[in-house]
Amino acid sequence: MPTTVKQLNRALTEHHYPGRGVLWCRTTDGSALGVYFLTGRSPASRARTLHRTPAGELVVAPSDARGHDHLRHYVAARQSGPWLVFGNGEQVATVADRLAGEQPPAVALDGLDYEPDPPIFTPRLTVVVDGRAGDRIWFGAARRSAGRRTGTDRLTLRIGEPAPGEGVLMTTYRSDGRQVATGDPFTEVGTTAGSAGDLLAEVWSALPPQLRIAAAVFAPGGLARAEIRQAAPAQA
């Protein structure tokens, strides 16, 4: 488990391939913000966009007219009543529906599984934020064991309200440039960003330029005003 706080840009740049990531933090101006980002190695992964829908969701979708792929195309952020839910797969919609059915966050995050994409078995990462209270934030991760167990390890972490300039980060992967492994359970990070725009710029600049797909910054109740940065989509 984390024993020190890393600067956000270092926590991202020290891994050659962070995959997809979720971040909840408070900028130095006091704004409580969520971040979702995605990177990809293959042309098919990079042939995606992150955009708002008329329903006020953030959706990861193909940049061309291909069929739906549930591992690469999904709702990445949804507001469900007072609840903001965001993450790296179709479980976002599942968790939002459970919260709308009045399940508590710890229950709504339970029962999720990692992605069936050997050999990496990508973790499913989900953040739940209660827009009515700044200290009600949950991170959920469904991960495969590093050993022989095939059953899902499910981590549910409730964090206290971050102080200005602090946050918590989860990424699907970590990489030394040669091998890719499941990311750390979570990383406590610091940031000097003073606004949503500054935070988006910090995250974007720290992601590997050749792997960047998209990143977004948003506040509870503010998905319609999310700030989005996007790379030119690759051709699959």
Q: Report how far residue 123's alpha carbon sits from residue 112's, in angstroms, rounded to the nearest whole number.
A: 10
Tell me: pLDDT of 44 over 90: no
- Is 16 a member of any domain? yes
Residue 220: predicted pLDDT: 96
- Is 1 a member of any domain? no
- Is 163 a member of any domain? yes
Instruction: Give how many domains the chain has, as a whole number.
Output: 1
Count other Cβ atoms within 10 Å, centred on residue 2: 14
- Is 2 a member of any domain? no
Residue 10: predicted pLDDT: 95
- Is 235 a member of any domain? no
pLDDT tens track for 177-230:
888 889 999 999 999 999 999 999 999 999 999 999 999 999 999 999 999 999
Q: Report how far residue 37's alpha carbon sits from residue 108's, in angstroms, rounded to the nearest whole number.
A: 23
Instruction: Take residue 156 and report the two structure tokens written for it.
Output: 């549910």
Percent of the chain with pLDDT over 90: 78
Give, in degrees to the nearest 5, the angle at Cα 215 between 126 and 18. Answer: 65
Enclosing H/E stretch for 229: strand 227-230
Domain around 24: 7-230
Residue 66: predicted pLDDT: 59
Count other Cβ atoms within 10 Å, centred on residue 217: 30
pTM for the model stands at 0.94
Residue 68: predicted pLDDT: 58
pLDDT tens track for 76-112:
999 999 999 999 999 999 999 999 999 999 999 999 9
Output the domain CATH number for residue 164: 3.60.20.20
- Is 74 a member of any domain? yes
Q: Report how far residue 14's alpha carbon sits from residue 130's, in angstroms, rounded to the nearest whole number.
A: 31
Report, as an integer, the average pLDDT of 127-156. 93
Write down the mean pLDDT value for the chain. 92
